[in-house]
Amino acid sequence: MRLSEARREYFRRRAREEGYLSRAAYKLIQIDDKYRFLSKGAKVLDLGCAPGGWSQVASARVTDKGLVVGVDLSPVSFKARNYLFVKGDISSPQTLQLIRESSSSFDCVLSDLSPKLMGVWDADSSRQVALASEALDITKLFLRGGGTAVFKLFQGETTNEFIGEAKKLFQRVVISKPPASRKQASEIYLVCLGLLADKFAADKEL
């Protein structure tokens, strides 16, 4: 077995043993252990949350004093007192309305969004970054000033453009590659700290 497969198998087995719905849960655990944004009482919006690993981690870390709202096209079996699942497309106005009804503002926005892969890297990468850009627009609507956002990005032609946009909106933007993300996988996580709310106050009122 190649090292990357062994690592994937290790996190898959560990997720099964520890009751996580996806091995992706460990990526968020590792990112949050470093940057500490999932604080007790925080309100978190988790975009592209199915099957639910990130939502489980966020729900446990924010505790019952906080709230996690997960959004996905696919269903999620995870249930918790502080968890609300919205089944829908992040591009649809109805989905945005349902998010807004759960909370008008969040302390943290997470995006692990990924399209169905076609196996053609350039196309998959630009579709994934387009989804992340939609998540960035949603972040502008819902994230409070000073808040944190995390975006998965497939590396490709449009990735740097996305990073440039994020840098205009946040005090600090860091590229993270958690150990649970396979070295060979061309995905990175962009950790965006300290939203500069005044930069887009006008957009927010639209």
Ligand X SMILES: C[S@@+](CC[C@H](N)C(=O)[O-])C[C@H]1O[C@@H](n2cnc3c(N)ncnc32)[C@H](O)[C@@H]1O
Contacts with 17 (C-beta within 8 Å, 6 or more apart), sequence order: none
Shortest gap between Cβ of 134 and ligand X (angstroms)?
A: 7
Q: Which is nearer to ligand X, 24 or 169 (CB)?
A: 24
The C-alpha atoms of residue 120 and residue 60 are separated, in whole angstroms, by 37
Shortest gap between Cβ of 165 and ligand X (angstroms)?
A: 19
Asked if residue 178 binds ligand X (CB under 6 A), the reply is: no
Query: Which among 146, 145, 185, 176 is positioned nearest to 35, based on CA atoms?
Result: 176
The footprint of ligand X on residues 80-99 (CB under 6 A) is: 89-91
Q: Which is nearer to ligand X, 150 or 195 (CB)?
A: 150
Shortest gap between Cβ of 52 and ligand X (angstroms)?
A: 5
Q: Which is nearer to ligand X, 176 or 197 (CB)?
A: 176
Structure token digits, residue 153? 């990005």
Find residue 150's DSSP bridge partners: 110, 191
Shortest gap between Cβ of 173 and ligand X (angstroms)?
A: 20
Cβ–Cβ under 8 Å, residues 114 and 152: yes
The C-alpha atoms of residue 150 and residue 57 are separated, in whole angstroms, by 14
Of 18-26, 160-168, 170-178, 182-190, which segment contacts ligand X by CB under 6 A? 18-26
Q: Which is nearer to ligand X, 107 or 112 (CB)?
A: 112
The C-alpha atoms of residue 174 and residue 31 are separated, in whole angstroms, by 11
The footprint of ligand X on residues 97-116 (CB under 6 A) is: 112-115
Shortest gap between Cβ of 1 and ligand X (angstroms)?
A: 23
Q: Please tell me the count of residues contacting ligand X according to CB under 6 A.
A: 23
The C-alpha atoms of residue 133 and residue 145 are separated, in whole angstroms, by 19
Residue in 65, 152, 167, 177 annotated catalytic: 152
204 backbone dihedrals φ, ψ, rounded to 5°? -60, -30
Cβ–Cβ under 8 Å, residues 46 and 59: no
Asked if residue 51 binds ligand X (CB under 6 A), the reply is: yes
Active site residue 116: no
Burial label for 62, CB within 10 Å (0-12, 13-18, 19+), is buried
State the catalytic residues.
152
Which residues of the shown chain bind ligand X in the complex (CB under 6 A)? 21-22, 24-25, 48-54, 71-74, 89-91, 112-115, 131
